[in-house]
Amino acid sequence: MRTTRRQFLQLTAGATAAAAVGLDIAPAFAQSTPVKLGVLAAKAGVLAPVGESGLRGVQWAAERINAAGGILGRKIELVVEEESSPKDTVERFRKLALQDKVDAVTGAISTGVGLALGPVAEEMKTIWLAWDATTQKGVEETIPKPKYSFRSTDNECEAVMASLLTARHWKGKFKTVAGINPDYSYGRDNWAAFLAIMKKYGIELQVVSELWPKLGATDFTAHVAALAQAKPDLIFSCHWAGDTPIFMKQAHGAGLTKSTKFVLTTGGGVHESLKKEFTPEGAILGYNTFYFEYAKASALGKEFVRWHQEKFKEWPNYESDHGYFTLVAYKAAVERAAKAAGGKWPTQDAVIQALEGVEAESLSGARRYREDHIMEATFFQGTTTHKNKHDFVTLDPVETMTTKQIQKPSGVGLYDWINGWKV
């Protein structure tokens, strides 16, 4: 806990500051007071659909946990705030920590917000379980050894898996490649990872076009025209937002979907909008960490899909699972720590220790947090098919890979890790 604290102000000021940092003091002893958990969910802008997804996953988890008696008998109370710009989200986080005095915060998807929140979580000494918001920079540079921040899976996992699938299925079947990726860190990192892996597998390719539309663009006519001119054999794209179906629609309109191979690493996030009329069969499509029609899904996963479809008339995507997992992981960690503490509600430090290495059942199978606070999960990708009862494409066959195969281990740089593979 606090050791020495030099008082700059008078003692009363010191007392106020002490009360504010009282998160370190063991939480309420009464078992009946609720556990407050803060949620940072994006509500507007390009992140809104996934933010909403994540929130639904968290809410479903909270409902079920409370229905089963809560965490060690204490019900979960969610305090929901909005994730918007980094500056505003930092302020919301501070409010959750200082004013609402939540035990932990779950949420955040944007990489910029993630970069800002990491240090703030450490400063406020509040546990933060991110849904997404992971980049190379975030993991390596800002907080090399975070105590309070628990990150999601690396952003490049999608590209790594898609690249491996490309190498496996299409090696030797394409020469020219075009990349069209959103113009920001996520887009750049994924494209770079793809190129590096193609090189590692000795796949000779020629990049005939590299396009960088703005994230969330709504008009790809010029891009599609440029692609049509370049005539690539394969198009790689890590688009994940509402711009994905627009791109596919316009690409199809220009005839690109007839003969070009498509690799869409994260398009599954907006899977329902990838309608059959413009999305071809045979494309490699990634669903990140959750696939709603996985035949081998657990009963839990199937129940969630059923509930989601009935309630929202939509099929869920991966962000719900990220949200869900953060809550059940927290519960599992608290229970694990409590057992070691003889049944009493554990201290925050104990919870953090228990979170490291904790395993919990998410909607898509078992997941855990590594000791370096990065999530381990299963990724779902596959080849698109029109043979289903929906109006959008699904996967057949579905392939899974775990983060043990596609996420770099702790302490290693992404490209060093790729270079060290034995192919």
Partner 1 sequence: MLFLVAAGLQLVFGVQKILNLACGSFYALGAYAGVSAVTWALGHGLPAPLFVLPLLAGGLALAALGPPLERLLSRIYDRDESFQLLLTFALVLMLEDVIRFVWGSAPVQLRGAYLAYGQVTLAGSTIPVYNLVVMAAGALIALGMGLLLTRTRFGRIVRATAENREMAAALGVDMRRVYRRVFTLGVALGTVGGALVIPATAAVNEMAIEVIVEAFAVVVIGGLGSMRGAAVGALIVGVLKAGAIATWPEVEMLAIYVVVIGVLVLRPAGLFAGATT
Partner 2 sequence: MIARAAGIAAVIALLSAPLVATPYQLTLLLPAFAYGIALLGLNLLFGTTGLLSFGHALFVALGAYTAAWLTTRAGVLSLEVIVLAAAGVAAAVAVPVGLLCVRYVKIYFGMLTLAFGMLFYSFLYKFYALTGGDEGIRVLRPTVLGLPFAGLDKVEFLTGPFYYYVLALLAVAALVMRRIVRSPFGLSLRAIRENADKAAFVGVRVRRYRFYAFVIAAVFGGVGGALLAVPTGLADPLLAYWTHSGNLVFMLLLGGFHHFLGPIVGAIVFIFLQDTVMSLTSYWRFVFGGLLAVVVIFFPGGLLGLLPSERTA
* Residue 123, helix vs strand vs coil: helix
Query: Could you tell me if 77 and 143 are in contact, meaning their C-beta atoms sit under 8 angstroms apart?
Result: no
What are the beta bridge partners of residue 375?
369
Q: Does 112 bind partner 1 (CB under 8 A)?
A: no
Q: Does 185 bind partner 2 (CB under 8 A)?
A: yes
Q: Does 1 bind partner 2 (CB under 8 A)?
A: no
List 1, 9, 25, 412, residue binding partner 2 (CB under 8 A)? 9
Cβ distance to partner 1 smaller for residue 94 or 275: 275
- Strands 234-237 and 206-211 come out as unpaired
Window of 23-31, 38-46, 347-355, 373-381 that interacts with partner 1 by CB under 8 A: 38-46
- The Cα–Cα gap between 127 and 125 comes to 7
List 14, 34, 112, 216, residue binding partner 1 (CB under 8 A)? 216
Residue 339, phi then psi, degrees to nearest 5? -60, -40
Window of 64-72, 106-114, 138-146, 209-217 that interacts with partner 1 by CB under 8 A: 209-217
List 188, 200, 275, 370, residue binding partner 1 (CB under 8 A)? 275
In whole angstroms, what separates CA 133 from the centre of its chain? 7
- Strands 284-286 and 104-107 come out as unpaired
End-to-end CA distance of the chain: 49
- The Cα–Cα gap between 252 and 107 comes to 35
| Partner touching 208 among partner 1, partner 2, none, CB below 5 to 8 Å by kind | none
| Partner touching 31 among partner 2, partner 1, none, CB below 5 to 8 Å by kind | none
Window of 109-117, 144-152, 318-326, 339-347 that interacts with partner 2 by CB under 8 A: 109-117
Half-sphere exposure at residue 389, Cβ-oriented, CA atoms within 13 angstroms: 1
User: Least distance from C-beta 137 to partner 1, angstroms?
Assistant: 20
Cis peptide bond prior to 409, omega within 30° of 0: no
Window of 120-128, 200-208, 247-255, 344-352 that interacts with partner 2 by CB under 8 A: 120-128
List 187, 245, 280, 316, residue binding partner 1 (CB under 8 A)? 245
List 34, 112, 216, 242, residue binding partner 2 (CB under 8 A)? 112
Binding to partner 1 (CB under 8 A) within 46-65 occurs at 46, 48-49, 51-52
User: What is 390-407 written as a DSSP string?
Assistant: SSB-EEEEEEEEEHHHHS
Q: Does 85 bind partner 2 (CB under 8 A)?
A: yes
In whole angstroms, what separates CA 6 from the centre of its chain? 40
Which tokens hold the place of 47?
Answer: 């992140």
Window of 78-86, 216-224, 294-302, 336-344 that interacts with partner 1 by CB under 8 A: 216-224
User: What is 2-62 written as a DSSP string?
Assistant: -------S-HHHHHHHHHHTGGGSPPPS-TTSPEEEEEEEE-SSTTHHHHHHHHHHHHHHH
User: Least distance from C-beta 268 to partner 1, angstroms?
Assistant: 15
Buried b (16+ CB within 10 A) or exposed e, 214-224: ebebeebeebb
Cβ distance to partner 2 smaller for residue 215 or 329: 215
Cα Rg of the chain, angstroms: 22
DSSP structural state of residue 298: -
| Partner touching 358 among partner 2, partner 1, none, CB below 5 to 8 Å by kind | none
Q: Does 12 bind partner 2 (CB under 8 A)?
A: yes
Find, among 411, 379, 406, the residue nearest to 395 by Cα.
379
User: Least distance from C-beta 347 to partner 1, angstroms?
Assistant: 39
- The Cα–Cα gap between 103 and 384 comes to 42
List 66, 142, 176, 273, residue binding partner 1 (CB under 8 A)? 273
Binding to partner 2 (CB under 8 A) within 357-386 occurs at none
Residues in contact with partner 1 by the rule CB under 8 A: 43-46, 48-49, 51-52, 183, 210-214, 216, 218-219, 221-223, 225-226, 228-229, 241-242, 245-246, 249-250, 252-255, 270, 273, 275, 277-278, 391
